[in-house]
Amino acid sequence: MKIFGDSNSGNCLKVKWVCDHLGLPYGWVEIDTLRGESRTAEFLEINPFGQVPAVDFEDGRTLAQSNAIMRYLARDSDLVPADAFAVARMDAWLFWEQYSHEPYVAVCRFQMVYLGKAAGELDPGLVKRGYAALDQLEQQLSRTRYLLGESFSLADVALLAYTRVAHQGGFDLERHGAVRRWIADGEDVLKLAPVR
């Protein structure tokens, strides 16, 4: 299996972390999206949508969308609950991440880290919605250790991806003590060094 990804992208790292955690072997192909490497004819064969991450199973099958890839790779592991309703709650976090968290927290970080904007140049609407997402996480994580309760799951992997680097997008987690505690716990589970 080959993972095509940008190693500075949270969406791509989700897939890498799941493979590392589960001991799944893979090769990593670095894709520089800013240089158009996700729009070449060769890449579009792997993912017609021109997005990273994408996975090539080298038997003719390919798969895109970080959360769909994680969900497939981890389907029989302890990263996915056994109970169908707990799976549904995990899925709700995964869809919420892509709709209500990533477009704000990750996009602010993208503009600062990739495009070189200063925090003061960010769209205040994006920043406000990013904090709203972080507040939702704080509310849940004040009550439970991980997003689904006592067990670490793909919901945590998905939300950790950009929450742990939110400060690179200008977000100050000072008010978000439970989120900071959860980031440290999640980094322990995934054996990741904290990001400065």
Q: Which residues bind its own copies (CB under 8 A)?
A: 48-49, 51, 61, 63-69, 71-72, 75, 84-85, 87-89, 91-92, 94-96, 98-100, 102-103, 136, 139
Measured torsion, CA atoms of residues 105, 133, 159, 116, in degrees rounded to the nearest 10: 10
Least distance from C-beta 136 to its own copies, angstroms?
6
Q: Toward its own copies, which CB reaches closer, 91 or 187?
A: 91
DSSP tag of 149: B
Beta-carbon contacts of 38 under 8 Å, excluding residues fewer than 6 positions away, are 4, 31, 47, 50, 51, 52
Least distance from C-beta 172 to its own copies, angstroms?
22
Q: Toward its own copies, which CB reaches closer, 8 or 50?
A: 50
Q: Toward its own copies, which CB reaches closer, 70 or 167?
A: 70
How many angstroms separate the CA atoms of 90 and 88, rounded?
A: 5
CB neighbours of residue 163 within 10 Å = 27
Are residues 94 and 86 in contact, defined by beta-carbon separation less than 8 angstroms? Answer: no
Least distance from C-beta 120 to its own copies, angstroms?
23
Least distance from C-beta 114 to its own copies, angstroms?
18
Q: Toward its own copies, which CB reaches closer, 48 or 177?
A: 48
